[in-house]
Amino acid sequence: MATAQQYPLNTPKNSDLLVGTSIPNPNTNDDPKTSNFSVSSIGSFLIEENNIITGGGTLNTIPMFTPDGQIIGDSIINQKSNGLEIQVGTGGGAQQTTLGGTYIFAGALGGDVVTATNINGGDTGNVILSGGVIIGNEATDVLQITSAVSDYTGSSSTSAGQVLASTATGQLLWSSINAVSEIKTAQATITDAQIRTLGTAPVEILPVVTGYIYEILSATTQSINSGGIGDAYDWGGQSGVISSRSSVFEGLHKVEIPNNRLPSGGGISDSSLYIGTPVAGFSRTNGSIKVTVTDNIDPTIPIGQTPSAQLLINITYKLTQVV
């Protein structure tokens, strides 16, 4: 019989046959048997009978080919214990979660939630959304971000209400001019006792909001007079002012109330509303909105008269944050 080296070298095929002889069993006195078997049957035998595919993988860790595409090992993707979610990375080092053209669902449709933490401009725990990402497909699906969000410089927002704005190069940067809140309305009632000291003790109708200015969009006033016939406050020619200051009104953003629209305090109540027009000008940061009169002088009460009134104010405004 020729030696093995004398046969031509070839690549094995599944259908190739090999010849082998069984080892006798001394307990049964079986004779050795020689038979042939295919190359493919050897592969199946090793997998099924000898558990040839084993490894040192970690429980619930999705495997990958590593390090050169020939060996199966752990990836950084884990199936969480609830069987519904996967976790990519551990949040350390330079690990990133990249989602490109990805549909993400976590349970029944209509209640899907994606939670992303540590979204920032550095190398730790980044989440990069590329190629178009769809989070669920129902109106109740939620994208929940539970940590600070940084701009392309790695900086987080420095104050409430800031917005991410695009730069000239298409990057996102926390803007130095902040978001404007929604339009709001408020109502205030100035009592008779407050009216009598309106010049020396302006009445606050909107409180200070730190870091913001008020912009008055509109204001209406209504005098509810309840004194006797012929009774009246003497305003001394002053007008009313709604503003963020209680004096020095020149150049100030404000709404003026003409002298003849201030409460008279007499026996006839005015059912009509006076619509004040906001005047453009400066507004104070960290300032409240007050009601006072232009000369900061309280109305006088003529001898023998007992005027009484209330002043109802409705104001529409918005807040703008200043940095």
Q: Which two tokens stand for residue 255?
A: 């709404």
Instruction: List the alpha helices (DSSP H) in the chain.
Output: 39-50, 192-196
Residue, of 85 and 262, whose pLDDT is higher: 262
> What's the length of the chain?
323
Position 53, amino acid:
I
CA 10 to mean position of chain CA atoms: 65
Rounded (5°) CA angle 47-51-55: 115
User: In the 8-state DSSP scheme, what is residue 101?
Assistant: S
Position 247, amino acid:
S
Q: What mean pLDDT value characterizes the chain?
A: 79
Architecture label for domain 184-321:
Sandwich (2.60)
| Interatomic CA distance for residues 153 and 178, integer angstroms | 18
Q: What is the pTM of this model?
A: 0.49
Encode pLDDT of 73-121 as tens digits: 888 887 777 776 677 776 544 444 554 445 555 444 444 455 555 444 4
Q: Which two tokens stand for residue 212?
A: 């913001």
Give the confidence band of 39 by pLDDT, cuts at 50, 70, 90.
Answer: confident
| Interatomic CA distance for residues 289 and 217, integer angstroms | 13
User: In the 8-state DSSP scheme, what is residue 47?
Assistant: H
Show me where the domains of the chain are located: 36-55+62-78, 90-174, 184-321
